[in-house]
């Protein structure tokens, strides 16, 4: 059986983009793969400096996985921080990672660019955790010899870097000690658009959160930006943010029916948004109820995550033993 692995960093409440781009495709793999799904809490430490917030975010991400259908009896779910072998592997990988490779990371380059534009020194606000973020991510992946990593498009470069690092290591020791991972990026959900039509992202403030109560969900949906066409005009579903999100939730018949109403004219944006809200609310309500139940029992989440870590650590330890031997560290 092949292995699938992915992580979500607990930097905020999960949104529709996280669900469609990462969580749902990852859960679909649980039938055919051994799955390792974790909360990348040390990755989040680069961004969240309020301990209470970091802790709360971890529960939210864990509860999201569980509410969306992850079964801990079938797939492993754990906190990255509870698998300390990750950090030893990360230290090993650092020695095989070219600094130039890290210089090319999109997130780092974007920070340099912003600093340049603001007239600051280039590395202003860049710490080593951020600079070496892709190495820690490579360690997460290679620790469990993952074959595939289900992620959204924005993570493609990080997976390529993990491949480069694995290959550099394997080349030195002349055999495939580290599995070279493959990204799994779904065509339809590689980039879910947000309220303003850009990629939905916490950093753009354009998200629709997954588990909002119905009233707030409706309010968010009503904020989706549309053009200024009037009710009577026929509309193009393929260029519309509302339809783009509807497509992710609806069946093919429902999609075709709404597309017809767009093209026929006579449907205003308010109507389209109401249709989207009702569909989303139908799909998300059972998840929301499970989510609320998990969030009301944090000790249960702690137990599930600790059990998950305990279950996977022996495999991590055995890989590390092999690597230590290979590199000559007793």
Which residues bind to ligand ADP, rule: CB under 6 A?
8-9, 11, 17-18, 20-22, 151-152, 154-155, 189, 191-192, 199-203
The stretch near ligand TRP (CB under 6 A) out of 4-12, 61-69, 91-99, 284-292 is 4-12
List the one residue from 48, 63, 68, 149 that touches ligand TRP (CB under 6 A).
Answer: 149
Among ligand ADP, ligand TRP, none, residue 312 binds (CB under 5-8 Å by kind): none
Angle, alpha carbons 180-181-182 (nearest 5°): 125
Among ligand ADP, ligand TRP, none, residue 189 binds (CB under 5-8 Å by kind): ligand ADP
* Euclidean distance between CA atoms 182 and 156, whole angstroms: 10
Beta strand pairing status for 182-184 and 2-8?
Answer: unpaired
Per-residue burial over 161-172, b if 16 or more Cβ lie within 10 Å, else e, is: bbbbbbebbbee
Three-state secondary structure call for residue 14:
coil
79 binds ligand TRP (CB under 6 A): no
List the one residue from 26, 140, 178, 250 that touches ligand TRP (CB under 6 A).
Answer: 140
Among ligand ADP, ligand TRP, none, residue 18 binds (CB under 5-8 Å by kind): ligand ADP
What's the token pair of residue 314?
């022996």
60 binds ligand TRP (CB under 6 A): no
| Shortest-Cβ-distance residue relative to ligand ADP | 21
The interface mask with ligand TRP, positions 29-58, x = CB under 6 A, is: -----------x--x---------------
Q: Which is nearer to ligand ADP, 200 or 319 (CB)?
A: 200
User: Which 179-218 positions form the footprint of ligand TRP (CB under 6 A)?
Assistant: none
Among ligand TRP, ligand ADP, none, residue 90 binds (CB under 5-8 Å by kind): none
What's the token pair of residue 80?
């990255």
Of 36, 20, 62, nearest to 208 (Cα)?
A: 20
E-strand ranges in the chain read 2-8, 33-39, 76-79, 148-150, 182-184
155 binds ligand TRP (CB under 6 A): yes
Q: What are phi and psi of 5, to 5 degrees?
A: -145, 135
List the one residue from 83, 89, 141, 148 that touches ligand TRP (CB under 6 A).
Answer: 141
HSE, CB side, 13 Å, CA atoms: give it for residue 25. 25
90 binds ligand TRP (CB under 6 A): no
List the one residue from 15, 34, 158, 247 that touches ligand TRP (CB under 6 A).
Answer: 158
* Euclidean distance between CA atoms 71 and 182, whole angstroms: 24
Ramachandran bin of 266, using left for φ above 0, alpha for ψ from -120 to 50, beta for the remaining angles:
left
């Amino acid at each position: 059986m092949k292995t699938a692995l992915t992580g979500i960093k607990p930097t905020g409440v999960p949104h529709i983009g996280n669900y469609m781009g990462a969580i749902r495709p990852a859960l679909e793999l649980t039938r055919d793969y051994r799955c390792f799904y974790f909360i990348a809490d040390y990755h989040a430490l680069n961004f969240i400096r309020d301990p209470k917030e970091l802790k709360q975010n971890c529960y939210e991400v864990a509860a999201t996985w569980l509410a969306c259908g992850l079964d801990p009896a079938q797939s492993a779910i754990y906190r990255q921080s509870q698998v300390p072998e990750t950090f030893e592997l990360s230290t090993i990988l650092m020695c095989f990672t070219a600094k130039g490779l890290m210089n090319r990371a999109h997130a780092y380059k974007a920070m340099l660019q912003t600093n340049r534009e603001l007239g600051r020194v280039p590395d202003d606000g860049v710490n080593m955790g951020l600079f070496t973020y892709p190495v820690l991510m490579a360690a997460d992946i290679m620790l469990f010899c993952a074959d595939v990593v289900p992620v959204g498009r924005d993570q493609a470069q990080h997976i390529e870097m993990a491949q480069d690092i694995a290959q550099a290591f394997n080349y030195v020791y002349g055999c495939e000690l580290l599995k070279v991972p493959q990204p799994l990026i779904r065509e339809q959900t590689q980039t879910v658009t947000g309220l303003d039509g850009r990629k939905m992202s916490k950093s753009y403030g354009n998200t629709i959160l997954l588990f909002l109560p119905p009233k707030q969900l409706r309010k968010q949906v009503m904020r989706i930006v549309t053009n200024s066409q009037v009710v009577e005009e026929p509309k193009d579903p393929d260029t519309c943010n509302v339809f783009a999100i509807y497509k992710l939730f609806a069946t093919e018949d429902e999609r075709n029916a709404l597309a017809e109403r767009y093209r026929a004219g006579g449907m205003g944006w308010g109507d389209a948004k109401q249709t989207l809200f009702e569909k989303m609310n139908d799909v998300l309500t059972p998840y929301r109820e499970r989510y609320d139940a998990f969030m009301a029992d944090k000790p249960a989440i702690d137990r599930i995550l600790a059990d998950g870590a305990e279950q996977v650590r022996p495999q991590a330890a055995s890989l590390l033993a092999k690597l230590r031997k290979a590199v000559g560290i007793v």
